[in-house]
Amino acid sequence: MTSATSWSKAPDFTGDPERRAAVARATSDDKQFYLTGGLREIECRACHACVRVKKYSPYHTSVQWNADARTQCLELDGADNPAMVPTCSRLSASIDHGVAEGILPKESTHEDPTNPAR
């Protein structure tokens, strides 16, 4: 039986620096893809807040807000807790407009360039 000090959940490739570097690169690529893959900038037509958006389906939209957009948004700016506001109706209309104009796809077709099977 292996001692508790030598066991790890996943191999760390200490003895293989090339493999360790490759795993680190792949992990970094995965993180970058997960956080930013397929996101498009959309500007609210009412307050001009600029957010990053990805549509996974007609019913599932991911919106990444930044501090500037949050303070520019007329609906979120006055909210005590913006996390409790389901969405900004004006931004939703701007996203719908972006889909109608072809700026934003109805469903993301973005594929991970390092792993197209994803």
What's the token pair of residue 26?
A: 């792949």
Which H/E stretch holds residue 15? none
Q: What is the pLDDT along the chain (118 residues), one digit of tens a residue?
A: 445 566 657 777 888 899 999 988 988 888 888 777 888 999 999 999 999 998 888 888 889 888 899 889 888 776 777 666 678 899 999 999 999 999 888 887 666 555 655 5
Q: Which residues of 16-44 are buried (b: 16+ CB within 10 A; e: fewer)?
A: eeeeeeeeeeeeeeeeebeeebbbbebbb
Measured CA to CA, the distance from residue 33 to residue 28 in angstroms comes to 9
Residue ranges covered by each domain of the chain: 39-100
Phi-psi region of 73 (alpha: psi -120 to 50; beta: other; left: phi over 0): beta
